[in-house]
Structure 1
Amino acid sequence: MAASRGGSEGPAEGRYGEDLFEPERAGEAARIDAAALVYDPVTTRRLRALGVGPGLRCLEVGAGTGTVARWLVEEAGVEEVVALDRDTGALAGLAGPRLRVVVADLTDERVRPGSFDLIHARFVLMHLAERRRIVSRLAGWLNPGGWLVLGDAVELPDVLDASSAYRRTMDAMWQALWATIGTDISGVPAYPHVLREEGLRDVGAELHCPPLAAGEPLARFWSETWSRMRPELVATGRVDDEVVDEALAYLASPRLAELGPGMAMAWGRRPPG
């Protein structure tokens, strides 16, 4: 990982959705949905493999636009889904007899959503400073036999590429995320060990790094992300506007050939009884 941290200083105290990626900004829901098109099939395939289905009570942490929560109700047929997020504007209209939308901050110790047979958090913990403590809280909300499934970003950069516009912009992004809202993916590969430390069993993990292709959802996601972060990218000193423009043009070009940042998933089960 070339730039998951922005130096030796601690992360900034900004927050996702407040200091970056404000949910009310035009096009933000579409940006999130572009990533969901890529990662939802990976997520739902894993949840199916873990036996998620009728009769279960599920917690979807950081529910975003509700694509996974909707799948749990409509496709998996679970008994109830609690969709928890600090901003639930994108979930308007989703609530129903089996899907309850809860406005809450996961870092708030007073939050007590209940107990669940499945707790799923995707691209959430990487943005939170006290992620290790939060994993302990999530594990504590599991019913006996319940699954905790965590998914966050990882990157396998091309070590031979240190100077392309793509690489420089991606590195600037990780540094800017760290400096602005404290995003850090350096600990993601340790998630299986963390789940084991919480006493969970049947721990497993997998990695999905999709290719980037011009015009496809993932390329659109990164293009929108870099466009929205342009001031923060330039502020790192790693890139200027010309480099960002070149990187954005590359994402839209048929020459695009990269192994983009992917998602690592880890899961573990609370022992029955």
Structure 2
Amino acid sequence: MPYATALLRPLLTTALLGVLAGCASVQAPATPVEATVVTKAVGYLAADAVPASLALVPAPPVAGSAGFALDEQVSREARALRGSPRWEQAHRDAELGFPEGANQFSCAIGLDVDAGKTPALYRLLERSRIDASAATRAAKHQYQRSRPFMVNGEPTCTPDDEDGLRKNGSYPSGHTSIGWAWALILSEIVPERADAIQARGRNYGESRLVCNVHWQSDILEGRFMGAAAVARLHDNAAFQSDLLAARKEIAAARKAGVGSSRDCAAEESVLKIRPASAL
């Protein structure tokens, strides 16, 4: 028996190593963020803690209603900005993939977000975008609202994204939910810059109007769902831990004199341009 065991041991070891190698080669499933963005990151919230968009937002405005008339008016005003610096900013704002997406609020907070130098802040933004996106998903799937470019036949600021956007409902806006969630979170971390941060949250959503990929009502309910997601996040221990750590990172960066590497004066000037009827 000892002899048989000795003979089998190398075979068993080899088999076990093969199984472990196979497990290591299996990649974690990608998590959807928005129509054209996936990530290996995971959100803070469990599925049953994500706000229920179908219970929280009304059905989108229908053709012929006063609500849809406003949607169309704002869309016309926003599309008039095509080809302008505001249109180019809307193209930049469409980027939700990390690491680029981590710095959408760089000017508003006065600091670049870096996975190596501000890891907690980077993680906070990366994980919370999953939760804010998830908060819009049920309503998007239920209503499958056609996006403006599908109705008016005019270009978007992200033509390469259009195929994915056609398959993803317009209402509520996922980008806006994420941007507003970030604005609320960052306002807590950097309260002395809260006005600039919240203005950035608003115009980040409005970039989706300028881009011709969302209606005004998509934007308004996207903000609502972003706020709902942040309310749930405050009951999450991991989120609270990262929030505290991010606050310390920013304080240290401020003390060291670190700032944003973007042309913030130019960005601020461009972002003041808004569709006249936008709420």
TM-score of the two chains, using structure 2 as the length reference: 0.31
Larger Rg computed on CA atoms: 2
TM-score of the two chains, using structure 1 as the length reference: 0.31
Higher strand share: 1
Indicate the structure whose relative CO is greater, using CA pairs within 8 Å and at least 6 residues apart: 2
